[in-house]
A and B are shown apart, each in its own frame.
Chain A
Amino acid sequence: AQSVSQHNHHVILSEAASLELGCNYSYGGTVNLFWYVQYPGQHLQLLLKYFSGDPLVKGIKGFEAEFIKSKFSFNLRKPSVQWSDTAEYFCAVNGRRSSASKIIFGSGTRLSIRP
């Protein structure tokens, strides 16, 4: 079955701490991988995406993620978080084929940053 697991439901960090949010997926075939962020009261915005090539992907606002195919993982990292990073983070996957395919989202990780 196709699924995305985000094991951390709520992460609380102090400003300047390093961040790593876990994401594991189960999906047959070649995949595209995404991290979306949802700031309080706002819609989802794309943070970064992996389609092919370098498995270390850099996104906006200093975020990066590493695709490890053998572990079916796509963990999100940031070396030093800020209070403004407080948000809900969603990992997502879809199959890489020419026609549109649905994106499967993880259940989200709420990140709270203490000032």
Chain B
Amino acid sequence: DTAVSQTPKYLVTQMGNDKSIKCEQNLGHDTMYWYKQDSKKFLKIMFSYNNKELIINETVPNRFSPKSPDKAHLNLHINSLELGDSAVYFCASSQSSGLNEQFFGPGTRLTVL
């Protein structure tokens, strides 16, 4: 029933590891996003895919690689995790041919030790 879902909800890992976060939406939207929310609650867009094609790629280290196998899924893979990667990562989706209201997932809290 969940519109935008993310797994896992919590992720605790050591520096240097590689991890992935998955996102799925069942709203039939054609655009998906990844946001990073830091400890001060500041929300910043990282990537956006429209119909499996990358359309927004903000200044993000290339250790972060998004992958969209189909328009309902947008996964985020992070290589060589660093302490500064600790944050809450939110996935969102919207319909591009409209007014771009975005629907957010529940977030994944990543803690790098």
Contacts and interface: CB of A to CB of B under 8 A. Distances in A.
- Whether chains A and B associate is yes
Interface of A: 32, 34, 36, 38, 42-46, 49, 51, 88, 90, 94, 96, 98-103, 105, 107-108, 110
B53 to A, nearest CB: 10
Contacts of A36: 104
B66 interface: no
A99 B48 CA distance: 12
A99 B50 contact: yes
A82 B41 CA distance: 22
B42 A94 contact: no
A90 B97 contact: no
Contacts, number: 57
Contact of A44 (B42, B94, B99, B104): B104
Given A42-B106, A103-B102, A108-B42, 12 more contacts: A44-B90, A46-B101, A46-B103, A88-B41, A94-B100, A96-B99, A100-B96, A102-B48, A102-B56, A105-B43, A107-B41, A108-B41
B112 interface: no
Among A34, A38, A42, A46: residue with most chain B CB under 10 A: A38
Interface of B: 30-31, 33, 40-45, 48, 50, 55-56, 90, 92, 94, 96-97, 99-107
Nearest to A90: B43
Contacts of A94: 100
A97 B97 CA distance: 8
A35 to B, nearest CB: 12
Contacts of A102: 33, 45, 48, 56
